[in-house]
Amino acid sequence: MFRRLDEKGATLLLKVDGQEIRARDGDTVAAALLAAGIKHIRTTPVSGKPRAPYCLMGVCFDCLVTIDGVGSRQACLVPVREGMSVETQQGKREAGR
């Protein structure tokens, strides 16, 4: 769906559900996920419908992911770091993990 104008700078490595993807310094997690071709990053807790990053500016809360073990973080507000671990969220989170 999205293509980087310049692939050369995408040198950081992060893991999404255990799979490595490349991102560029300065990307948000949401931008990195979209650029990696990941279309749905969660399903909703009540109806189970798929969701993707939408507003990209912190207001819609549709891009919630687990980052380094902390759940329901807004992927569009968190810059990527080398070695970051991202997990997509399916339905309701489990308390205690």
Q: Which residues bind other proteins (CB under 8 A)?
A: 45-46, 69-72, 91-97
Phi, psi (degrees; rounded to nearest 5) at 10: -80, 85
33 touches 87 (CB < 8 A) = no
Q: State the Rg of the chain over Cα.
A: 13
The distance of closest approach from Cβ of residue 53 to other proteins in the complex, given in angstroms and rounded to an integer, is: 18
Nearer residue to other proteins within complex by CB, 37 or 50: 50
The distance of closest approach from Cβ of residue 23 to other proteins in the complex, given in angstroms and rounded to an integer, is: 24
12 touches 23 (CB < 8 A) = yes
Nearer residue to other proteins within complex by CB, 12 or 89: 89
Nearer residue to other proteins within complex by CB, 19 or 72: 72
